[in-house]
Amino acid sequence: MSYGDSREKILSAATRLFQLQGYYGTGLNQIIKESGAPKGSLYYHFPGGKEQLAIEAVNEMKEYIRQKIADCMEGYADPAEGIQAFLKELSCQFSCTEDIEGLPVGLLAAETSLKSEPLREACHEAYKEWASVYEEKIVQAGCSEEHAKEASTVINAMIEGGILLSLTAKNSTPLLYISSCIPDLLKR
């Protein structure tokens, strides 16, 4: 395919690096080098430069995580069990240093929410999408829509915060503590 996989390779390297190192911690040169894509092709595929690349990277993270959450929720009738399955998956990365994927969306969101409105909106959309997956499942389990809306936001916050704490502690304990309080959170 003439419109080959260079674009794809650049975007996937950018997604990985932005998630691990953040927006300002990641240089375009590093992205090109790690992607293995030809150097001259970046601004051809991403004429909007670094900002466009970051926005598309956030969309990649959004879809990747949304799929993971959805897969976990499908496996159980009880939403709490589905969320705990997702937390278990997240906690695995802290067993081996090389497996660490970082803080999806959160790092970019914290760096750029006050500096780039389109990037902030992309991050906001990611959080809304993840919340809607939780929400739907919680409503299906018989909870009120109001409770489901609140709970899904709180779950998003706990998980992002839990990854952050696990990253800082270099172990999965915070994520496991969070997992154990999910059932109580949903009981109402």
Binding site for a copy of itself (CB under 8 A): 20-25, 100, 102-103, 106-107, 109-111, 113-115, 120, 123-124, 127, 150-151, 153-154, 156-162, 164-165, 167-170, 173-174, 177-178, 180-181, 184-185, 187-188
Q: Whole-number minimum distance, CB 153 to a copy of itself, in Å?
A: 5
Quote the CA–CA distance of 91 and 100 in Å, as a whole number. 10
Residue 39 binding target from a copy of itself, DNA, none, CB below 5 to 8 Å by type: DNA
The DSSP output letter for 99 is G
Q: Is residue 182 within a helix (H) or strand (E), and if so which, with residue range?
A: helix 173-186
Contacts of 29 (CB under 8 A, 6+ apart): none
Region from 22-30, 79-87, 113-121, 153-161 binding DNA, contact rule CB under 7 A: 22-30
- Where does residue 183 rank: exposed (0-12), middle (13-18), buried (19+ CB within 10 A)? middle
36 binds DNA (CB under 7 A): no
Residue 40 or 99 with smaller CB distance to a copy of itself: 99
Quote the CA–CA distance of 186 and 148 in Å, as a whole number. 8
Binding to DNA in span 38-67, by CB under 7 A: 38-41, 43-45, 49-51
CA distances, 162 to each of 6, 106, 107 (Å):
35, 11, 13
Contacts with DNA, residue ranges (CB under 7 A): 1-4, 6-7, 26-30, 37-41, 43-45, 49-51
